A and B are shown apart, each in its own frame.
Chain A
């Protein structure tokens, strides 16, 4: 077990060293959520309500962009196979990839937090719970990114496919439009999206209320889905071996 943790941490460290300045990571992981947050804070309607969505969005884009860049690039260059040769389990490899995305997600959310603070100067409703929700959300997005990166068949199309999945989520998952105000027929889709639970959890921890999913449900779901996505990523890695 210790070997697995150590291996995962080394993979994460290597990824951060190698990919933090890659153009797709910077543009989609840092620049896009930052510009998005700035635009909404300037012209937004209910800034306090929007803040949690924007913070979650920066975690979401930061984490998933890192997985997209690191895994897809390595699969294309055949260097991903190196990881499969090390004496570490496939779960350990998925975990390592997920950890680098997690750390990058946390780092990339800092500029958004600064923008929010600049406009609002919020003191969180429950700071400890907020920290827990941020960690849970970043974990959830990082393993989701890893899973998607393995599911993409053609690495050259990865970012397009990632954005095809990510962009609709901005509008369906409580980030800028309350789920309760969306047409009823969209509810099943909204509730199937992991981003919804993270936004709801972070919103509760930040401002003390939520839209449709109470924190007793949304917070555990962020952590549970982290493990589910990670397990599925392990299955995909196993399947990728011809």
Chain B
């Protein structure tokens, strides 16, 4: 059986349908991304899989155990890093990790060894005796991640692991997530950060309004949903967005500083038409660049298609 199997999982909060019959599976050793805008149902799904939210209907198996019927067994094999760093503020980093180890039934020697190992891995050994409350945002995130790893879980759930972090801390956490996954840990990561999902994950499920609307590897999603390329051009004279938008084959045109960003389905014919138009106006092209659609454009396309 796969690491996580979800079948028709549904969650209602009163009358509000938060998750609408989603199904997916995560393979062992995979870094699986759950990508979606705020309020899409990502956190609710993670909480249902971890037993922090009741499942309204459907089935789920985490490491082969049901969060409905075998919650204690599920809890033993998972680690969760919630979207807020919620360790105990008055306890030191060391005490927080030791307490976590105690609650998972690790022996005294093992807890000490594991806590030291994790503090070292996350570069927090010098903060060992600092209270959790005294750490920076990035350090708090790292320690919360360390606590989730104390008992060597088989599956790690990361709920928006880099939310609110600066670029440096974010990249540091990304590297650590990669390293953990390379060591064989199965990771289920929720994020609204498109770059995070496309750069880190082996496979991504895109969720919007409680429904999974696309599922595949980042490369597959790009292939399936881009279907278009982006032409960047600038001129040495006056040209308007409206004029470019009227060219056949232009899906969308916008201005970005001196340049135009033109989403096109047939770049060659559009390019020819742009050159012809420029000539007729007595102006010439300063700059031309053709590139594939980026992750953000793919994501907007997926969400856009689903909303249409």
Q: Do A and B come together as binding partners?
A: yes
Question: What residues make up the interface of A, taking CB atoms closer than 8 Å to B?
Answer: 3, 6-7, 10-11, 14, 17-19, 22, 74, 77-79, 81-89, 241-242
A81 touching B86 in the complex, CB below 8 Å, given contacts A86-B104, A241-B52: yes
Of the residues B13, B50, B51, B86, contact of A79 by C-beta under 8 Å: B86
Instruction: Please give the number of chain B residues whose Cβ is less than 8 angstroms from any Cβ of chain A in the complex.
Output: 26
Given A6-B102, A19-B90, 8 extra CB contacts under 8 A: A6-B105, A14-B88, A14-B99, A79-B88, A87-B105, A88-B103, A241-B52, A241-B53
Task: Please report whether the interface of chain A is mostly helix, strand, loop or mixed according to DSSP.
Answer: helix
* Residues of A with C-beta under 8 A to B99: 10, 14
Residue of A nearest to B84 (CB): A78
> Which residues of chain B are within 8 angstroms of A11 by Cβ–Cβ distance?
103
B135 within 8 A of A: no
11 contacts between A and B (CB under 8 A): A17-B91, A17-B95, A18-B88, A22-B90, A77-B89, A78-B82, A79-B86, A79-B89, A82-B87, A87-B75, A87-B103
* A53–chain B nearest beta-carbon distance, Å: 33
A82 to B144, CA, bound (A): 11
Chain B residues with CB under 8 Å of A18's CB are: 88, 90-91
- Contact bitstring B42-79, A, C-beta under 8 A = 1, else 0: 00000000111110000000000000000011011000
Assess whether B143 is interfacial by the CB under 8 Å rule.
no
**Which of B51, B91, B102 gathers the greatest number of chain A CB atoms within 10 Å?**
B102
Q: How distant is the Cα of A81 from the Cα of B103 in the complex, in angstroms?
A: 13
Question: Provided the pairs A78-B86, A85-B75 are in contact, do residues A242 and B53 lie with their beta carbons within 8 angstroms?
Answer: yes
Q: In the complex the two chains form, what is the Cα distance from A84 to B88 in whole Å?
A: 14
> Which chain A residue shows the least CB distance to B101?
A10
Q: What residue of chain A has the Cβ atom nearest to residue B132's Cβ?
A: A79
Complex CA–CA separation, A74 to B50 (angstroms): 19
Report the minimum CB–CB distance from A2 to chain B (whole Å): 10
Q: Mark B101-116, 1 if CB is under 8 A from A, else 0.
A: 0111100000000000
B194 at the interface (CB under 8 A from A): no
A-B complex: 9 closest residue pairs judged by Cβ atoms: A86-B103, A10-B102, A87-B75, A18-B90, A79-B86, A78-B86, A87-B76, A14-B99, A87-B72
The answer to whether B80 has its CB under 8 Å from any CB of chain A is yes
A83–B82 Cα distance when bound, in Å, is 13
B52, A81: Cβ atoms under 8 Å?
yes
The distance in angstroms between the C-alpha atoms of A139 and B86, with both chains bound, is 29
User: Binary interface profile of B, 286-301, with partner A (CB < 8 Å = 1, else 0)?
Assistant: 0000000000000000
B75 → chain A closest CB, angstroms: 4
Picked from B51, B84, B90, the residue with its CB within 8 Å of the CB of A84 is B51
Please pick, from A17, A81, A89, the residue contacting B82 in the complex, using a CB distance under 8 A.
A81
Find the residue from A78, A82, A241 having the highest chain B CB count within 10 A.
Answer: A82
Q: Which of B76, B89, B91, B103 gathers most chain A CB within 10 Å?
A: B103
> Please, which residues of chain A bring their CB within 8 A of the CB of B84?
78
Complex CA–CA separation, A232 to B90 (angstroms): 29
Expressed in whole angstroms, the Cα–Cα distance for A74 and B88 within the complex equals 8
Q: Would B105 and A242 count as touching, CB distance under 8 A?
A: no
Contact B105 A85 (CB under 8 A): no
Task: Say whether A241 contacts B54, CB under 8 Å.
Answer: yes
- Are A14 and B91 closer than 8 Å at their CB atoms? yes
In the assembled complex, the CB of B270 is this many whole angstroms from the nearest CB of chain A, namely 51
What is the CA–CA distance of A63 and B43 in the complex, to the nearest angstrom?
36
A150 to B59, CA, bound (A): 30
Contacts of B104 in A (CB 8 A): 86-87
The answer to whether A7 and B89 touch across the interface, beta carbons within 8 angstroms, is no
Does A85 lie within 8 Å of B95, measured CB to CB?
A: no
Q: How far is the CB of B78 from chain A (nearest CB, A)?
A: 8
